[in-house]
Chain A
Amino acid sequence: MAAPVRASLFVTCLVDLFYPEVGVAIVRLLRRLGVTVDFPASQTCCGLPLFNSGYHGEAARVARRTLPLFAASEYVVVPSGSCAWMVKKEYPGLFDDDPALRKEAEALASRTYELSQFLVKILGLSRVTTNFRGKVTYHDSCHLLRGLGEAQSPRTLLKNLEGVELLELPGADECCGFGGSFSVRLPDVSTSILGKKIANIEKTGAECLVACDAGCLMQMGGGLSRKGSAVRALHLAQVLAGTDGV
């Protein structure tokens, strides 16, 4: 696993706009692990918010311009289970009527990984060194868990951190209530779902809530912060990168 690996970062719209520190953490983390990181310019979004609301023409347009940006990438790393899912599972179908583009989409899908998958399955890591310390609990994002079948990789990485205690979250596999536009179409229901999630988070006694999806972090972080909770909501990348070199 020591061969130099090249990874292109597909940073995602939410991280780009709202959580750039997560993007920065990924770059620092990957470089520390010997990975060469590049960032294809003029990327915007994977198109998932359009797709989920049924605007497939619009989603296809976004996908179409995303394909060439990563055409030369060896690996595409995405700090979001839902965005990785979009590229891996839905992109090919968006181009059913264009065989050439469909092939490109399938190729991109096969090279795309959510961050924890990339670390554990491609780099073959189970342990990372970081200066992050404390009690954490982990929430399974729906698309990462059910869409990509990934429950173990984030837990493996968290469990093996020195000075970090991973406390299992009751109902970890239950939705946080984000669901993209769902969070503002049915805000009361979304908030009610969130309330149950926060009660579970607080029950663990963890100092930090970790997830692999910016949407979930926005929802859970937003709820924790509104409550005045001391629990921080962090992306896995931030925990693994720690504050070394900042």
Chain B
Amino acid sequence: MRHLPSSLKIPFPERAGAALKDASLQEALTNATTKFIGLRKDAFASLPQGDLLRDRARAIKEATIQRLDYYLEMLADNVERLGGRVHWAATGEEARDIILQLCGDRGVKTVVKSKSMATEEIELNEALEHAGVTPVETDLGEYIIQLAREKPSHIIVPAIHKTKGQVADLFSHALKGRFAADPEVLTAVARKELRQKFLQADMGITGANFAVAETGTIVLVTNEGNGRMVTSLPRIHVALMGIEKVIPSMTDLVVFLAILARSATGQKLSVYTTLVRGPRQHGELEGPEEFHLVLMGSGRSNQISGELREALYCLRCGACLNVCPVYRQIGGHAYGYTYPGPIGILLTAMLNGDHAVKDLAHASSLCGACHEVCPVRIDIPRMLIELRQRLDRERIAPLAERGVFRVFGRVLASPTLFRLSATLGRMAQRPFVREGRLGSLPLVFGKWTKTRDLPPVASRTFSERWKELR
């Protein structure tokens, strides 16, 4: 089966180019993103207080970050009061080590996982496998890509790039059967197969959509039921969470619940919103004996006082991906990192440094559609421009490019140079003008004319014509 190159050795424009040529990916992307756009629009059309809620949600995130240490401490105290253990991971590596240590200490052989972008970030599955522990993804989309040994291509529907035929092949191969390319059939196969894993696993690992500081509750927003299975059936539950997910109270929580599912899938609420408070309580028949919350600061702590601070509000709803003209053309794998799409570029800069976004910072036409749909109104275009500024300041942008823009800046700041460039342009273009258009130009201009015509520099600019108009 076709495997798109997400290897970072291949430059981003080439990765993007490969995605553009993949016809089945193109079809899947168009269908999925168009559908999600419609679902989200309808969901907010039926929520008159939607805009107000988004403002409130954003204000809550900002207020929380302004006292992040206070709320994290409150959260930890409450989790521990209820019999849970809190672990503090300054880096992704530490988070991995903590989880591996737990597995080792507790004799864990199999882990069932509910969908967690945080665990993708730290490449937990590979680390577990290396340590002889078997991780089983249980979210259907994640299960599919785990079998395919691929990364997710969308935050909400990780296997959106796969056709049902491809899924049927995957299942048939992995489970030694022959299954029809029918979503109902394939879902039933996954249900049966994964049910056994839930019942036998030693440990369940989840992320957390939110953690309520005042009550020590972690909140999982899911649709399949695997989140509930993973947090109820195995004897140990580990939740890995970026520190920015904490919120103060239950009253805050319902503000987010009102808009999260609507933004992600157009549902009023996801099928399961699960509020987990520690291990099973005394007298409870079911539930884990142990609950561990791993708090991850990696990349996030730096941004609290940084330019990408707003990106910490992100709820991981995926709405920005669905409307992004770039994401809609190239899909998630081409971005090359854990998080794709508009917010993905910012998160990649946060987690992997500015060098990682040398090309990605320009993978945007700055159209602003992402800002428009973000439930917490993150101004992604503004921060992309900040990133671009940093790439210049830090000399990560290529020298040639920086040189060109310095010259460009001089020309635009000087009416004489500006007029001169028009004259030079007119001279230089003469050999290329056909039927009043420029069809084929050399150098960087060729990148335009390969697929589009260009109007020539006018024989008389507007400034030159003004005398007759005045």
Contacts and interface: CB of A to CB of B under 8 A. Distances in A.
B469 A27 contact: yes
Interface string A147-182: 100000000000000000000000001110111111
B362 A62 contact: no
Contacts of A179: 364-367
Interface in A179-199: 179-194
Contacts of B16: 186, 188-189
Interface stretch (A15-23, A98-106, A119-127): A15-23
Given A15-B462, A191-B452, A192-B20, A50 B389 contact: no
7 closest residue pairs by CB, A with B: A179-B365, A58-B409, A54-B388, A222-B452, A23-B462, A175-B367, A54-B389
A45 B412 contact: yes
21 contacts: A11-B463, A13-B418, A17-B422, A17-B457, A44-B412, A47-B412, A49-B412, A50-B405, A61-B413, A142-B367, A146-B367, A174-B369, A182-B365, A184-B447, A186-B13, A188-B16, A189-B330, A194-B452, A222-B448, A222-B452, A225-B453
Contacts of B249: none
A218 B447 CA distance: 14
A146 B455 contact: no
Interface string B438-470: 010000110110111111111011111110011
Interface residues of A, number: 64
Interface string A45-80: 101011111111111011001000000000000000
Contacts, number: 184
B453 to A, nearest CB: 4
Nearest to B14: A188
B392 interface: yes
Contact of A16 (B17, B363, B413, B461): B461
A15 B406 CA distance: 23
B325 interface: yes
Given A18-B458, A193-B325, A55 B362 contact: no
Nearest to B388: A54
Given A44-B413, A142-B366, A146-B367, 11 more contacts: A11-B463, A17-B458, A42-B415, A54-B388, A58-B406, A59-B409, A142-B369, A177-B325, A183-B448, A184-B444, A184-B445
Given A175-B325, A188-B13, A142 B368 contact: yes
A226 B392 CA distance: 35
A53 B388 CA distance: 6
A4 B236 CA distance: 78
Contact of B385 (A51, A61, A178): A51
A90 B409 CA distance: 17
A52 B366 contact: yes
B211 interface: no
Contacts of B422: 17
Most buried by A among B361, B406, B425, B452: B452
Nearest to A58: B409
